[in-house]
Copies of this chain bind each other. A is one copy, B any other.
Amino acid sequence: MDSHEPFDVFMQECPSREIMQRLGDKWTPLVLLALAGGPQRFSALRERIGAVTPKVLTNTLRNLERDGLVQRTVFAQVPVRVDYELTDLGQGILEPMEILRLWSEEHVPKVLAARERFDARG
CB proximity to B under 8 Å, residues A82-117: 89, 92-93, 95-96, 99-108, 110-115, 117
In angstroms, Cα B21 to Cα A49, docked, is 13
Given contacts A24-B23, A51-B12, A111-B19, contact A92 B101 (CB under 8 A): no
Chain A interface mostly helix, strand, loop or mixed?
A: helix
A-B contact pairs, 9 of them (CB 8 A): A5-B105, A9-B33, A16-B101, A24-B24, A24-B100, A67-B115, A69-B111, A89-B111, A93-B103
Indicate the size class of the contact surface on chain A. 35 or more
In angstroms, Cα B66 to Cα A113, docked, is 10
A40 at the interface (CB under 8 A from B): no
